[in-house]
């Protein structure tokens, strides 16, 4: 009935494309440190915080590349494109 593309798939795809861009920037850039950084301090009770890196890892596991490090995979452009398009 509604012939629009799946919005969840588009969001996941664009998130992974942005992660590839940040991974290629290098460790000295602030954006990279925010993406892979750990929060300091004491966490309150409840569900653990979800971070961008955790979301990217979960999405890669859904595609079947869960055993690889996502930063190393993002450095290989052809392999990462397969993950993004899957």
pLDDT digits (tens, 9 = 90+) for 3-17: 777 888 888 888 888
At 1, the pLDDT band (50, 70, 90 cuts) reads: low
Quickly tell me which residue has 């398009």 as its tokens. 85
Extents of the domains making up the chain? 7-36+50-85
Q: Report H helices in the chain.
A: 7-25, 30-36, 52-63, 70-75, 77-85
State the chain's mean pLDDT as an integer: 79
At 39, the pLDDT band (50, 70, 90 cuts) reads: low
**What 3-state DSSP class applies to 54?**
helix
Residue 36 is predicted with a pLDDT of: 76
- Region 53-73: mean pLDDT is 80
At 2, the pLDDT band (50, 70, 90 cuts) reads: low
Report the candidate in 59, 73, 81, 79 with the shortest Cα–Cα distance to residue 11: 59
């Amino acid at each position: 009935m509604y012939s629009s593309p799946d919005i969840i798939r588009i969001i996941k795809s664009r998130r992974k494309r942005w992660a590839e861009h940040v991974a290629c920037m290098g460790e000295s850039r602030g954006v990279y440190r925010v993406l892979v950084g750990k929060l300091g301090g004491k966490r309150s009770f409840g569900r653990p915080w979800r971070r961008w890196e955790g979301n990217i890892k979960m999405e890669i596991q859904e595609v079947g590349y869960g055993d690889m490090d996502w930063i190393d995979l993002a450095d290989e452009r052809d392999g990462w494109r397969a993950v993004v398009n899957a």
